[in-house]
Structure 1
Amino acid sequence: MTTPDHQPLVATCLDLPADSPGGSVELFRDLYTGEQPLIPARAFMLQPAGRRPAVPAGLELLAVSGKALEGPAFRRYIAALGQALAHALTPEHIGVLHLQHLAFGATPALMRALPEHPRIALVHGTDLLFAGLHRDQLRVLRETARLADAIVAPTAAMADHLIRLAPQTNRRKIHHIPWGIPDHLLDCPPMAPERTPASHLRLLYAGRLTAEKGGDVLLRALTAAQGIELSIAAPIAEFHALAPLMRRAGIHSRYLGWLRRPQLWKAFAEHDALVMPSTTLETMGLVALEAQACGLPVLYQPVPGLHEALGGSALATDFTNTTALARDLDRLRTSPSLLPALRNAGRANAARYPLSSTAAALTDLGKQLG
């Protein structure tokens, strides 16, 4: 089935609770939900335990519990999620499946619910990480790579990582479609207040504080840095879990809370640099691109995906080397031309990734498969 403007109606599911933090959730909502979604879809997430959260228009919640990663519990979860999706969806109303992640439960569940529809699998990064750690997730990833009609990787680094995990994957099925950031942010970023010279460099960490994001690495690295102020915008439970390490490292930080994106965009204007100390990989690092769109320079660990998206538009450093990091922070603090140059380069880089282009490319790919 197609929509009135001849777009194939998408069925897609992200098997995370609707109130989950993270870039994959924001991208999912940006693409498929709202009063006028960029991609018309039946879009599903999980009903969180407790009170039903406020959700954007077009996002449907499934009351499926028992999410697991391995073993019989994982198989039971897939079966329950597949049954819920089959009950909610009318096959003739759907044109194409968008499989969010090549692993986890929603991908096999959606293929069970609608086994005859064309399938586009989207690499997000966490699927690759979990497939490297869990046997059943690796099995699902390899099966998805085999059964998908097309695989979308936002960076070449993610495609290469997928091939290492699933070497039998047909490379001709892999399409490079970068993720994007909202067009309105590129067109009308928040106005930055007048910057006054400061003796301290105001650093911002924004995102999850899971191991692969490198929060602990950042804190250890900052012990040798001088003249910095650190703000953290992260889920509160993850911030509290990191607090003992902060105390041992003697790091004082300002906790901003887990900010909604408009609040985060405003916070960008109150800082001098965003720090991205990711340890393993980043699908693209959308928060870094949003920071650049708002004129905030980025200091980052050049891991796969992130280095491809940012390149020379941001300052690459080594957060595992306290001396190197202290040197680069001192350069940012004392060189009068470096921060303005990074602001300009960052804005130009972010402009390369409008979300409308992501949506258009995914829609075109769906039409080719229909």
Structure 2
Amino acid sequence: MTPATTDPTPYVATCLDLPAGSPGGSVELFLDIYTGPSPLIRADAFMLAPGTGSPQVPGLSQLTVAGKCLEGPEFRRYVDRLRQGLAERIDPGKIDIVHLQHLAFGGTPALCAVLPDHPQIALVHGTDLLFAQTHPDQLQVLRDTAQHASAIVVPTAAMADRLVGLAPGTDRAKIHQIAWGIPDHLHAQTPPSTQRPVDELRLLYAGRLTSEKGGDNLIRVLAGVGGIHLSIAAPEGEFDALAPGLDRSGVPFSYLGWLDRRRLWEIFADYDVLLMPSTTLEAMGLVALEAQACGLPVIYQPVPGLIDALGDSALATDFTDAASVTKVIDRFKASAALRAELRDHGRANAARYPLSRTAAALAELGRQLTSSCGT
């Protein structure tokens, strides 16, 4: 088909079927790329309208569609409601290409139904792979999307391998590795680290506390470690579920709430290390890269995705083994040289992932696909 505009950057339709204001790295990446006064990629970008307190984000349209679910006839009805909502808001003649956020969930089949003849780039975020493993309807959506999408974008090689394991018929030739990125200004404006004694190590956990994030493992292995204080920045409901275990563990802790992203960047300077105990996989672990850009070292569980993104720029340990965690924390606490080395290596690693490069690579792939479809 012929591109809808003569602008060299294809105009995108995209939908992330989560309520606006939801926590998570995929939401932040979506907002960073497609919304704001000067988006990196021009788009009709959609999320679900939350029940109350709808945040107003420039460039973001909100869909009032109820019944988000994962399985059975209700899922199919939910997708149809999404399709209707999108069809009412999207002018197909304005759109050059579709960006499918996730290979599963409702937004993907709904957008495909509204714009079936447009080129489609499917972006793997990680949660789509996790949910496809446990929900048959999501696995079917993932396999259908992998088959029909014009191109599939993965942030790491680990995500490509996991995708092909779930959808063995996927054509690897249409899988493109484009690393996710963090806002460019973080690389240039590094908050100063606060000087503090090292007799008490200030540990930070920041992010969701869903089961695959390893919160239960974290408090279990920290229970026997002395000279530490753990601070947690997480959604309130998820923290509430973890709090009884924290109380029983005896780990000294503070709850920071779910922080505004810019506030999180500011408080990185108040801590000694960020902990990433994820149990299964991460698309990339953007919060770890943001911490590194701000000069905060990272200790992480070497799961797929995090290994690719962090490698030896951070300390890997086994968060299922208390002895391993105690050893690495004691080593970190004892060596000022190690802490300085990890700060330097972390900043250098984070500098490899500017968000502008992510957006430019996605735009270039879009140009290639729309050019191919127009000839």
- The CA distance in 2 between the partners of 1:228 and 1:111, in whole Å, is 50
- Correspondence for 2:40: 38
Where do 5+ consecutive residues of structure 1 fail to align? Answer: none
Once superposed, what is the RMSD of the aligned Cα atoms? 1.0
Residues 1:81 and 2:53 are matched in the alignment: no
Name 2:121's counterpart in structure 1: 120
5 Å matches for 1:1-370?
A: 1=3, 5-51=7-53, 53-193=54-194, 195-370=195-370
Greater relative contact order, per chain length (Cα 8 Å cut-off, separation 6+): 2
Mean CA deviation greater in 249-258 or 64-73 = 249-258
1:90 positional shift = 0.6
- For 2:79 and 2:196, the matched residues in 1 are separated by 55
Question: Can you list the C-alpha shifts for 1:132-165, whole angstroms capped at 9, x where unaligned?
Answer: 0000000000000000000000000000000000
Cα distance between partner residues in 2 of 1:241 and 1:304: 26
Identity %: 63
Q: TM-score, normalised by structure 1?
A: 0.98
SS in 1 for 2:257: coil
Deviations 1:72-122 (A, max 9, x none): 000000000011101100101000000000000000000001111000000
Which secondary structure state, in structure 1, belongs to the residue aligned with residue 323 of structure 2? Answer: helix
* 1:25-68 deviation per Cα after TM superposition (whole angstroms, max 9, x unaligned): 000000000000000000000011123x2232000000000111
Q: Deviations over 1:237-265 (max 9, x none)?
A: 11111111111211221111101111000
Q: Bigger shift: 254-263 or 96-105? A: 254-263
Runs of 5+ unmatched residues, structure 2: 371-375
List structure 1 segments (4+ residues) > 4 angstroms apart after TM superposition. 1-5
Pick closer, same or farther for the CA change 1:3–1:200 going to 2, 3 Å: farther
Which amino acid in structure 1 is aligned with residue 259 of structure 2? L
TM-score (norm 2): 0.97
Deviation at 1:187, TM superposition (A): 1.4
Q: Secondary structure at the match of 2:99?
A: strand
Structure 1 residues 5, 197: closer, same or farther in 2, change over 3 A?
Answer: farther
When structure 1 is superposed on structure 2, of 251-260 and 139-148 the one drifting more is 251-260
Partner of 2:173: helix, strand, or coil? Answer: helix
* Contact 1:224 1:323 (8 Å CA) reproduced: no
Contact 1:3–1:40 under 8 Å retained in 2: no
